[in-house]
Chain A
Amino acid sequence: MKIGIIALQGGFYEHHYMLRKLAGETGWSIEPVFVRKPSDLRGVDAVIIPGGESTTIGVVARRLGLLEELRDLLASGLPAMGTCAGAALLAKSVRDRVVGETKQPLLAVMDIEVVRNYFGRQRESFEVDLRIPAIGGKPFRGVFIRAPAITRLWGRTQKLAELDGVAVAAEEDGKLALAFHPELTGDTRLHRYFMERVKR
């Protein structure tokens, strides 16, 4: 399976590391590739949109023509996993907790509303153990760095995990939006969950 990791800005090496780790644990053949131009998307079975600054990733992707290309592929069913900034890019509606409406470019393919910096600034960034029933009973260490939250879900979108009454993980037809950073914990369960969706 060829997995494209959007590699314009942010934690893309960390996802690459997690996919290699997962391949080692499961014996699955996973070929992670970095995606920087529209042509890099050729033949990918899924994409991962890493954490970073969603404005930066959006602005650069738009200039390179990657945003439109990716939006078309995702709309026609290509599985995707977005963490933190990636989740904001997947959302149809994005607001900021302090600033309000943002004019940033989006992929807008998931029926969710994301509020950026929902839990506060870097000083308020935190770790907490999350209950995610879909991946089993063992708690998952969520690393929230200036993290967003999923404040509204509609359509076929399902909530996978919540914290303090808001959703922090959601799924819709093979698309996964995570407000936290599974790639910083070394725990491959969420990457494995995503890859199982891709294999189907």
Chain B
Amino acid sequence: MVLPPYHPVVERARLYEVGFETIVDFFYRLAEAADKLREEGFWLNYGPERLPDYIEVPARGTLRVKYGFPVYQKGGVCMDVTNTEQAGIAEEAGAASVMVLDKLPYDIRRQGGVARMADVRVIQQVMDTVTIPVMAKVRIGHYYEAAVLESIGVDMIDESEVLTPVDEKHHINKWLFKVPFVNGARNLGEALRRITEGAAMIRTKGEAGTGNVAEAVRHMKIIVGEIMKLRSMTPEERLRAAREYGVPHQLVDLTARLGRLPVVNFAAGGIATPADAALMMWLGADGVFVGSGIFKSKDPRERAEAIVLATSMWHDPETVAEAQAMISEQKSMMGIDIRRLKPEELLQVRGE
């Protein structure tokens, strides 16, 4: 038996009706703003450039390369790790990438205090031990943590609400960097604002470190639902939606036409079992981030491999059942009921 997608339109739209070139052309227009900023000073070496018709010398960090990177993460799992040993387990299990953190979200909740980017030496050690891409998190609005990560060569930067934000109002202007960024979103407006700021990838926020996938499901359904609504709108209504979201109307039109976000969209926050991952894929995610779910369980090796299998094979309930049988529910991480968290303990509300 093969499970049909939750939203047939989303599945069809994944074939990129307008083609990748059109998407990239669109981003060139957004990049004009970044060129202006670059003239103003500090970030002289950064920013996407317009390409000549013919390139002899390799052009690094172009938009196609930045937006292309997450395309090759699709159908894969990015796993949170805190050291080289965990990174090795993740790679062997078939993770498409690893995210290096100082503490897993579950422990951040437990310990409290200010959560910052991971130890640079640990990130470098992980980069030297695994062949898959290495991502790392920076605090929302922390330009300099991002500049540090770019300079040591991290493959993707996650501007993450899991860490303590340093700027309550503004996110990083991601057009200034050559390394692609991933940002969290709970609804379509938030996702499109992050794309306007230059995010090359979006992940639904969920509620990290809870082992409870309910919020991730809620956010994915909100985003898909709002895109479906855009598709049925008149051009005038879309213009108004663009104003409400605070983003260019071309981006809203493009999203409506594609029937999906114009960048790769992963699910995150509370994914703890193979079936959780398959559910998020069925709801329209391009892949999943797994945080505390693997290394806070008692069977990380088996669980990592099982979640990878279920993410690739989400169409097929029999294989997901097989994946589910590779792990034991008794060894799953202890979950936290979101309703028992105090409002100030919620991570998802950080950075609208």
Contact = CB atoms under 8 A, between A and B. Distances in A.
A96 B131 contact: yes
B61 interface: yes
Contacts of B319: 37, 64
Interface in B26-81: 51, 54-62, 64-65, 68-69, 71-77
Contact of B75 (A52, A55, A58, A123): A52
Interface string A27-59: 000000000110000000000000111011011
A60 interface: yes
Contact of B72 (A59, A60, A145): A145
A105 B148 CA distance: 35
A184 B54 contact: no
B315 A36 contact: yes
Interface string A115-133: 0110011111111110000
Interface in A96-140: 96, 98-99, 102-104, 116-117, 120-129, 139
A145 B58 contact: no
A14 B56 contact: no
Nearest to B22: A186
B168 interface: no
B179 A122 contact: yes
Contacts of A193: none
A129 B131 contact: no
Given A52-B76, A99-B130, A123-B60, A129 B312 contact: no
B312 A36 contact: yes
B155 interface: yes
B143 interface: no
Contacts of B92: 55, 59, 103
Nearest to A122: B155
B21 interface: yes
Q: How large is the interface on B (under 10, 10 to 19, 20 to 34, 35 or more residues)?
A: 35 or more
A84 interface: yes
B56 to A, nearest CB: 7
Given A17-B19, A121-B127, A128 B72 contact: no
Interface in B1-33: 14-16, 19-21
A161 to B, nearest CB: 14
- Interface of chain B, helix or strand or loop or mixed? loop
A159 B14 CA distance: 34
Interface stretch (B93-101, B230-238, B241-249, B268-276): B93-101
B312 A9 contact: yes
Interface string A72-114: 0000000000001100000000001011001110000000000
B309 A121 contact: no
A8 interface: yes
A140 to B, nearest CB: 11
B351 interface: no
Interface string B143-171: 00000001001111000000000000000
B133 interface: yes
Interface of A: 7-14, 16-17, 20-21, 36-37, 51-53, 55-56, 58-60, 63-64, 84-85, 96, 98-99, 102-104, 116-117, 120-129, 139, 141, 143-146, 181, 183-186
Given A16-B15, A186-B20, 10 more contacts: A37-B316, A53-B73, A53-B96, A55-B94, A103-B92, A121-B155, A123-B60, A123-B153, A127-B55, A185-B64
Interface of B: 14-16, 19-21, 51, 54-62, 64-65, 68-69, 71-77, 91-97, 127-133, 150, 153-156, 178-180, 305, 308-309, 311-313, 315-316, 319
20 contacts: A9-B76, A10-B71, A10-B72, A10-B75, A13-B15, A55-B92, A63-B309, A64-B319, A99-B128, A117-B131, A121-B127, A121-B133, A124-B60, A125-B60, A125-B61, A128-B56, A143-B68, A145-B69, A181-B68, A184-B64
